[in-house]
């Protein structure tokens, strides 16, 4: 679910939105990988953006700006986030400003989000969001504190699943199985979580808790390298979880996780949602959305309208009234897109941008459908704020929950 966990893990390490420093010594494998992707899909805006961001993170301002200038000559419509280009802004302001102006002429702005509540517990570093169908309360996973909390209308929080309970790691995706009264929680070892040194790097876990009592119902574990990220529940009660490190899907089977799609099948899988009927499951990847026939164990790209290409880096993915709703946050300005689906569920008929550019929206990750609105985590602080231990409370931004009408 992390916005930087949408792309392949090598890219996560190299290109996360943490402020850059020219002291980083780059492995060239990532640039090579991205350049190979660009040769396969010439003019791909997401890859051009990623290359520019990568070079900026390494202090390589000239090539970063060169890639941005190439991006300006495409139909890229997601704009440019200044937080991604700290070095270019400071060391070549005039050239950067010219490239940014050219890119942002095509930015599809849609500032429609309205603020709902600010969270009192500022150092949660929240990631996943769900809704208790009984109480209507929002549930947030805390990556920093390794727990799950309920959110009152005032923004006050109280624990549902306590810190590191039953071996929780940095909590990521949440999913409520209302039919069985369960709360599924994906978690993974991360350097920003409390007591980060008590679990080997690359370890991931999937828990099922009783939603009413918080008692453990089931627990699954994968050794590294793994990163269990988001979870969905099928009609038969089995859970499917994305593995953003191994690039595959897992499904619960008895007391263990079994491969649904083997490692290397997908590119940075993240958010996922099952179709309400049938055998289809929609999975967001670094390169776009794939349609998985989970019984046949086959994945195919979601077909898009002619000329529509920019669905890279979607985090949370949802289904409402015959349309997919996605939080697109890896490259460009964060935005929320709506994709009405064709009758067969394997194609999108168009791409609507329903939120982009609201000042309260920064680093959004996940959300939940509430009646005719999409409620989502609009601002959540960033992982790098906790890199050197917990910062002072007044050094953190407010955590903002917002909504956009569907």
Rounded to 10 deg, the angle between the 61-71 and 93-104 helix axes is: 20
Q: What is the pLDDT of residue 337?
A: 97
Give the span between the Cα atoms of 11 and 312, in whole angstroms.
14
pLDDT tens-digit profile of 224-258?
789 999 999 999 999 999 999 999 999 999 889 99
Please count the residues of the chain: 406
Residue 1: what pLDDT?
43
Cβ atoms within 10 Å, residue 40: 9
| Structural domains of the chain sorted by starting position, each given as residue range(s) with its CATH number in brackets | 3-104 (no CATH), 114-405 (2.120.10.30)
Cα 50 → chain centroid: 16
Q: What's this model's pTM, rounded to 2 decimal places?
A: 0.91
Cα distance between residue 122 and residue 125, in whole Å: 8
Q: How many CB atoms are closer than 10 A to CB 68?
A: 27
pLDDT in tens, 85-128: 999 999 999 999 999 999 999 999 999 999 999 999 999 999 99
Return the pLDDT at 406.
95
What is residue 384's predicted lDDT score, i.e. its pLDDT?
A: 75
Strand ranges of the sheet holding 373-379, from the earlier edge strand across to the other edge: 114-119, 399-405, 373-379, 367-370
SS3 58: coil
DSSP E strand stretches across 84-163: 114-119, 126-131, 138-142, 147-151, 157-161
Give the residue carrying structure tokens 């400003």.
Answer: 97
Contact 221, 203 (CB under 8 A): yes
Do 239 and 229 meet the contact criterion of CB atoms below 8 Å apart? no
Instruction: Tell me: cis bond preceding 225? Omega within 30 of 0 counts.
Output: yes
Distance between alpha carbon 382 and the CA centroid of its chain, in Å?
A: 13
Burial class of 32 by CB neighbour count within 10 A (0 to 12, 13 to 18, 19+): exposed
Nearest to 144 by CA among 367, 389, 365, 329: 389
Rounded distance between C-alpha atoms, residue 34 and residue 42, angstroms: 11
Which among 299, 280, 278 is positioned nearest to 290, based on CA atoms? 299
Residues of the chain falling short of pLDDT 70: 1-27
């Amino acid at each position: 679910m992390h916005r930087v966990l949408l792309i392949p893990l090598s890219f996560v390490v190299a290109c996360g939105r943490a402020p850059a420093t020219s002291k980083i010594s780059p492995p060239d494998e990532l640039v090579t990988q991205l350049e190979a992707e660009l040769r396969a899909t010439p003019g791909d805006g997401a890859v051009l953006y990623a290359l520019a961001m990568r070079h900026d993170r390494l202090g390589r301002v000239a090539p970063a700006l060169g890639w941005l200038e190439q991006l300006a000559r495409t139909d890229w419509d997601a704009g440019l986030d200044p937080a991604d280009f700290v070095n270019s802004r400071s060391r070549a302001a005039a050239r950067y400003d010219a490239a940014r102006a050219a890119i942002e002429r095509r930015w599809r702005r849609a500032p429609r989000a309205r603020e709902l509540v600010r969270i009192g517990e500022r150092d949660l570093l929240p990631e996943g969001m769900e809704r208790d169908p009984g109480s209507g309360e929002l549930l947030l996973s805390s990556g920093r504190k390794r727990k799950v909390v309920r959110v009152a209308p005032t923004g006050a929080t109280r624990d549902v699943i306590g810190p590191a309970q039953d071996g929780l790691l940095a909590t990521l995706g949440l999913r409520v199985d209302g039919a069985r009264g369960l709360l599924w929680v994906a978690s993974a070892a991360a350097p920003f979580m409390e007591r980060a040194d008590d679990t080997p790097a690359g370890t991931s876990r999937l828990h099922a808790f009783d939603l009413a009592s918080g008692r453990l119902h089931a627990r699954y574990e994968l050794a590294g390298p793994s990163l269990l990220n988001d979870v969905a529940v099928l009609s038969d009660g089995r859970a499917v979880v994305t593995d953003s490190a191994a690039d595959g899907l897992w499904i619960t089977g008895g007391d263990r996780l079994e491969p649904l799609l083997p490692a290397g099948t997908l590119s940075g899988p993240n958010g996922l949602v099952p179709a309400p009927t049938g055998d289809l499951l929609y999975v967001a990847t670094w390169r776009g959305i794939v349609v998985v026939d989970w019984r046949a164990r086959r994945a195919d790209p979601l077909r898009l309208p002619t000329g529509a290409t920019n669905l890279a880096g979607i985090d949370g993915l949802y289904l409402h009234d015959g349309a997919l709703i996605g939080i697109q946050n890896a490259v460009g300005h964060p935005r929320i897109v709506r994709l009405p689906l064709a009758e067969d569920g394997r194609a999108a008929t168009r791409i609507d941008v329903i939120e982009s550019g609201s000042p309260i929206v920064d680093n959004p990750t996940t959300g939940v459908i509430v009646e005719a609105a999409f409620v989502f985590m609009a601002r959540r602080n960033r992982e790098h704020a906790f890199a050197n231990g917990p910062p002072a409370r007044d050094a953190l931004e407010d955590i903002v929950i917002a909504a956009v009408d569907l």
